[in-house]
Amino acid sequence: ELAQRMAERAVDVVKFLMKQGQMMKPGDLIDADTAELIAVEFGHTVKRVTEADVEEGIFDVEDRPEDMKPRPPVVTIMGHVDHGKTSLLDAIRKANVVSGEAGGITQHIGAYQVEQDGQKITFLDTPGHAAFTAMRARGAQATDIAILVVAADDSVMPQTIESINHIKAAGVPMIVAINKVDKPEADPQKVRTELLQHEVFVESMGGDIQEVEVSALKGTNLDGLLESILLQAELLELKANPDRSAEGVVIEAKLDKGRGSVATVLVQAGTLRIGDILVAGDEWGRVRAIVNDRGQQLKEAVPSQPVEILGLQGTPLAGDKFAVVESEARAREISEYRQRVTREKAVARQAGSRGSLEQMMAQARDKEMAEFPLLIKADVQGSVEAIIGALEKLGTDEVQARIVHSGAGGITETDVSLAESTGAAILAFNVRANKQARDAAEAAGVEIRYYNIIYNLLDDVKAAMSGLLSPER
């Protein structure tokens, strides 16, 4: 690539490197200093381009205040497992569909929009705080308001506390939804008191965090929750300029057999239109279709609207930012640059992990630390990241999950052979193995376990890990 850019023959660059004592072939990576040395040696002038140079003008378009228009809030629901996050998301969705869009078929695209008092609210329905964290790790802040769900019959639990910490770290305003108040053993007051210990001061206890008692099961007071969200949103004065090229964040993405790359994106500024050329993470493409959470084809999407888009060349990652650019050439340039950065980071990580693997082995020898190799496949990248995030937390000083590979999509023969060579078990979340993979797994004695509930997956891993610690069991 460097040779090409200098309009030299690759073989000459390789020869030059050989003279320097570096054996390399075309396609190998060289570091920036070596590249500079080569370029100068071949008589070129070097200008170091930083990430900021390449990306300038894409993500930092200044909007004039008078162009800013109100936009709906984007809400994430978090809380302990089984406290009713999914039930609440489903109940709200069922009860409130954006008017004029009735009749559409509900599509689970990772986010949806409802309407309350003529105002729209966007809900992200990716599972729990792991997705929230994965997005934040990529620098994407998609959430305006977080709903902390606490079941009134169970009160504050470990993942409630984790959620509180994540919400606070993100600096996102919180609303507490005390759920399951229909249960005879429900004790909402206990929830309020216990929250105090974690510095969540709800209004009835003299604080300024709104709290709402709901029952997702019975559909009780969902309106109250939505009202609270709108009230909070009003205080935030959420605005975006719809009259500019679109930018936003990828909620999830997958490869669909029939439709190719399908990405759910949340527009955060501007208006996204069919035909727009878009860069998302390392990938780019021309928007071929825009589909909403009702399965309806749209011509455009406005700020805070979540939509599925078709037309990307590859599959971006959950949390990747996207932006519309002016030309294919520009899109290609940016995505090539980013792919290069990703590759370089991977190389650096590999170099780093060799070190840490040695450390780990030394540690294992000292402390007899056990490792639990796993290969994770899931339907969408968002789930993959949620699972890995949760698995990492399961580890203790004595035993750790080691993810040998992970990705979105069905299980293939390649996965099986990788699992075989690393001694890993394959965990499949909402995906199946094809016939070749099943046969190969059987022949190789590789275990494939299927799940459609993350919690069950984690439970099994936990059990297996403790089994590792006490082999006599």
* 377 labelled binding-site residue: no
Nearest distance in Å: CB 129, ligand GDP:
11
Pairing of strands 448-451, 370-378: unpaired
76 binds ligand GDP (CB under 6 A): no
Nearest residue to 463 (alpha-carbon basis) of 425, 433, 416? 425
Nearest distance in Å: CB 450, ligand GDP:
19
The span from the CA of 302 to the CA of 267, in Å, is 6
147 binds ligand GDP (CB under 6 A): no
* 176 labelled binding-site residue: no
* 84 labelled binding-site residue: yes
Of 77-96, which residues contact ligand GDP (CB under 6 A)? 79, 81-87
157 binds ligand GDP (CB under 6 A): no
Q: Which is nearer to ligand GDP, 133 or 305 (CB)?
A: 133
216 binds ligand GDP (CB under 6 A): yes
* 44 labelled binding-site residue: no
Cβ neighbours for 38, distance < 8 A, ≥ 6 positions apart: 2, 6, 13, 16, 17, 30
* 106 labelled binding-site residue: no
Alpha-carbon distance values, 176 to 17, 203, 204 (Å): 62, 10, 12
Alpha-carbon distance values, 197 to 164, 185, 188, 190, 194 (Å): 11, 22, 15, 11, 5
Which of these ranges, 5-13, 75-83, 110-118, 196-204, lies near ligand GDP under the rule CB under 6 A? 75-83
Which of these ranges, 74-82, 195-203, 286-294, 432-440, lies near ligand GDP under the rule CB under 6 A? 74-82
Q: Which is nearer to ligand GDP, 89 or 334 (CB)?
A: 89
Q: Which is nearer to ligand GDP, 85 or 166 (CB)?
A: 85
Pairing of strands 211-213, 174-179: parallel
336 binds ligand GDP (CB under 6 A): no
| Beta bridge partner(s), residue 309 | 263, 290
* 126 labelled binding-site residue: yes
180 binds ligand GDP (CB under 6 A): yes
133 binds ligand GDP (CB under 6 A): no
Alpha-carbon distance values, 459 to 357, 391, 462 (Å): 26, 10, 5
Q: Which is nearer to ligand GDP, 182 or 300 (CB)?
A: 182
285 binds ligand GDP (CB under 6 A): no
Nearest residue to 177 (alpha-carbon basis) of 144, 152, 154? 152
The span from the CA of 184 to the CA of 138, in Å, is 43
Q: Which is nearer to ligand GDP, 178 or 416 (CB)?
A: 178
CA atoms within 13 A on the CB side of 63: 18
Q: Which is nearer to ligand GDP, 183 or 259 (CB)?
A: 183
* 439 labelled binding-site residue: no
217 binds ligand GDP (CB under 6 A): yes
371 φ, ψ (degrees, to nearest 5): -120, 145
The span from the CA of 319 to the CA of 358, in Å, is 32
Q: Which is nearer to ligand GDP, 8 or 182 (CB)?
A: 182
| Beta bridge partner(s), residue 265 | 250, 307
The span from the CA of 22 to the CA of 420, in Å, is 35
Q: Which is nearer to ligand GDP, 156 or 437 (CB)?
A: 156
Largest CA distance in the chain: 81
* 181 labelled binding-site residue: yes
The C-alpha angle with vertex 454 and arms to 369 and 424, in degrees rounded to 5, equals: 40
Nearest distance in Å: CB 188, ligand GDP:
12
Nearest distance in Å: CB 155, ligand GDP:
14
End-to-end Cα spacing for the chain: 56
Nearest distance in Å: CB 454, ligand GDP:
9
Q: How many residues bind ligand GDP (CB under 6 A)?
A: 15
The DSSP secondary structure of 168-179, one letter per residue, reads HHHT--EEEEEE
Point out the annotated binding site for GTP. 79-86, 125-129, 179-182
Interface with ligand GDP (CB under 6 A): 79, 81-87, 179-180, 182-183, 215-217
Point out the annotated binding site. 79-86, 125-129, 179-182
